[in-house]
Amino acid sequence: MKQKTADRYRLLFIALVSAIYIFPFLWMVSNSFMSDKHIFSVPPKFIGDLLFTPQMFDNYKNVITQYNFGRYTFNSIWVFTLAAVGQVVVCSLAGFALSVMHFRGRNLIFSLLVITLMIPVQVTIIPEYYLFLKLGWLDTYLPLIIPSFLAGAFGTFMLKEFFSQVPRALFDAGIIDGVNAYQMFLRIYLPQSSSPSATLFIIAFMNNWNDLLRPMLYISSRKLYTVTVALSQFQGQYEVRWNLLLAGSVLSVLPLIIVFAFSQRYIIESTMSSGIKG
């Protein structure tokens, strides 16, 4: 009985906390149903003035049809799913090697990876741009995908930490069974990692999705735009089309929430079957 009330209080507290997190988003959604001139009115208007009128979805319709948001969303989904998959693959491989295997240069490579995490993107972006210019990759998706299929400092770091925590007993069992490195990876370690892999997938997907700088610099053709570049279209030289920008922002969050919801399953599932419980 005590546990149930404790649970209820807990739920109430969680609801309160979530309200703090969800309120600004609700403001965004509400204002996406507002016509341009009322959005920043003071005193503030909370309820969109277009709600429940025939023009209710005008901002959204506008954004999707006139500004081709559907196409750009598709672009973003495709490109960044690919990049996120690449990250999971590459970082699992590297994380495994760095945590469990022995080779010269292991510490050096890991230290270098961590070092690359520290430099803010604003610094390296110009040399990076030149590199892609020389490679002829400008105005394609290659700069947004290929690097993700090669190295991922954050992901490797995360998976290395995770693999280091896999119980020694599993490792020893593998050795006793005489597995080679690939089997150790594929049959023993990788299955354990569905939780951090899913987490890495979300993080890689989300970081890429919200990145404006790289797609903005590397892509010029309109049909290749990603969602963030498309959103920046609403910011003209002299004015910002807030109503469209907010509607677009709401639309751009939805796929991320779906990805998050979908991968939550892997995160919350207890992956802790110790494997050697008798």
Q: Which of residues 79-138 bind other proteins (CB under 8 A)?
A: 79, 82, 85-86, 89-91, 93-94, 96-103, 106, 109, 112-120, 122-131, 133
For other proteins, which is the closer residue by CB, 43 or 54? 43
Residue 57 touches other proteins, criterion: CB under 8 A:
no
For other proteins, which is the closer residue by CB, 51 or 262? 262
Which residue in this structure is represented by tokens 């079957």?
Answer: 273
Residue 12 touches other proteins, criterion: CB under 8 A:
no
Tokens of 275: 């494997």
Q: Report, in Å, the least distance between residue 53 CB and other proteins.
A: 17
Beta bridge partners of 235: 240
Distance CA 119, CA 196 (A): 24
Non-local (6+) Cβ contacts of 211 within 8 A are 228
Among 58, 62, 77, 140, binds other proteins (CB under 8 A): 140
For other proteins, which is the closer residue by CB, 15 or 51? 15
Distance CA 113, CA 97 (A): 14
Q: Report, in Å, the least distance between residue 140 CB and other proteins.
A: 6
Is residue 148 a contact partner of residue 86, using CB atoms and an 8 Å limit?
yes
Neighbours of 55 (CB within 10 A): 12
Q: Report, in Å, the least distance between residue 52 CB and other proteins.
A: 22
